[in-house]
Amino acid sequence: MVKVNKKSRAALIALTAVFIFSFVLMIPAAIFAEEEAEEVIIETIDIPEELEFNVVYPKLSAKAGNNFEFSVDLTYVGDEEATIDLFAEGPENWFVAVTPSYQDSQITAVKLTPGKKESLKIKVFPSIIKEFQKPGDYEIIVRAENEDLKLSEEISLTATITATYSLDLNAKFGVLNTKATSGKNNPYTIVLKNSGSDVIENITFGSDAPQKWIVKFNPEKIDKLNADESKDIEITITPPDKTIAGDYMLNFSVKSAEATKNIDVRVTVETPSIWGWVGIAIIVIVVIGVAVIFARLGRR
């Protein structure tokens, strides 16, 4: 067994104490250095700036003549508040407006806080001119940008116009009554118009008239009538011979798979002129006969 003298033992104890003391002093220094390094790393991280649109319903449909309203969320990622310019474009002669979700005032810019979502409404008003609102899909572009930050983002929305089908039927000269002579062909003209937004095909005509009356249409059928197109329809009304003079109500109708329409027209039947002359002649004969009788009686 090796014996350690007192001096060696004292030196060993002193050396051990110095080592332990040095190790204790190094721990907080290491911790501080690590924290400082983390701060440096955090300070050097650069957050990428970007804009992002989010929309749940990017496609909407409505009948011609109606407006569209899209709900869109805009989010800004960055390290400080920024003003974002807003732009919206639609088809020719359409009007597109960007408004906040909580009011109807049109806006052209919005101030965004990093990470905060801004809800917007995109209001789309199709042209009132039918030429620019035919059935189909129409693209709406909404763009957000900040030139200083060199940020730009856009979103495409789709407004789908569906067709409307409607027929208008009116008298040629706006008068829903006419005169007719019994036993004669009496003309009357109506105007048929396609007041819808799409073509209407296979249009037929019909009438509801008193028994034994004859009603004919020219043309008898229309294969195709374009939107906003009008066409004159010639009607021939023939009351039966010896129809009692007076007013009669006739109903004219047009039908297709997409739309129907009808109008009522009052027809005043007059006695044929020949019968008027016959009546006058009979009256004259009766008057002459009575005069002759009185003359003969007067002689007696």
Q: Please give the pLDDT value at position 2.
A: 47
**Whether the Cβ atoms of residue 164 and residue 216 lie closer than 8 Å to each other:** no
Q: Please give the pLDDT value at position 41.
A: 46
Q: Please give the pLDDT value at position 129.
A: 82
DSSP 3-state assignment of 172?
coil
Residues with Cβ within 8 Å of 151's Cβ and at least 6 positions away in sequence, in order, are: 49, 50, 51, 82, 84, 144, 145
Residues with Cβ within 8 Å of 61's Cβ and at least 6 positions away in sequence, in order, are: 159, 160, 161, 162
Q: Beta strands of 78-150 (E only): which ranges?
A: 82-89, 95-100, 109-112, 117-125, 136-146
Q: Please give the pLDDT value at position 192.
A: 97
Dmax over Cα atoms in the chain, in whole Å? Answer: 200
Residues with Cβ within 8 Å of 250's Cβ and at least 6 positions away in sequence, in order, are: 207, 208, 209, 210, 213, 215, 237, 264, 265, 266, 267
Q: Please give the pLDDT value at position 189.
A: 96
Q: Beta strands of 101-225 (E only): which ranges?
A: 109-112, 117-125, 136-146, 151-162, 167-171, 177-181, 186-194, 200-208, 214-218, 221-225
Instruction: Indicate the class that CATH gives domain 50-162.
Output: mainly beta
Q: List the structure tokens of 186.
A: 């009496």
Q: Please give the pLDDT value at position 283.
A: 76
Q: Please give the pLDDT value at position 42.
A: 44
| Residue 241 CB-half CA count within 13 A | 2
Bond into 219 cis (ω within 30): yes
Among positive and negative, which fits the CA dihedral 73, 76, 82, 86? negative
**Whether the Cβ atoms of residue 135 and residue 164 lie closer than 8 Å to each other:** no
Q: How far apart are CA 250 and CA 243, in angstroms?
A: 15
Q: Please give the pLDDT value at position 64.
A: 87
Report in angstroms the alpha-carbon separations of 89 from 61, 78, 114, 120: 18, 27, 26, 15
Among positive and negative, which fits the CA dihedral 283, 289, 291, 294? negative
pTM for the predicted model, two decimal places:
0.62
Q: How far apart are CA 155 and CA 58, in angstroms?
A: 9
Tens of pLDDT, residue by residue, the chain (300 residues)? 445 556 566 666 666 665 565 655 565 555 555 555 455 444 445 667 899 999 999 999 999 889 999 999 999 998 899 999 999 999 999 999 999 998 889 999 999 999 889 999 999 999 888 778 889 999 999 999 999 989 999 999 999 999 999 999 999 988 999 999 999 999 999 999 999 989 999 999 999 999 999 999 999 999 999 988 999 999 999 999 989 999 999 999 999 999 999 999 999 998 765 555 555 667 767 777 766 676 666 655
- Which parts of 89-136 fold into alpha helices (H)? none
Q: Please give the pLDDT value at position 138.
A: 96
Q: How far apart are CA 168 and CA 113, in angstroms?
A: 56
CATH 2.60.40.10 domain position(s) in the chain: 50-162, 167-272
Q: Please give the pLDDT value at position 258.
A: 92
Assigned CATH topology for domain 167-272 = Immunoglobulin-like (2.60.40)
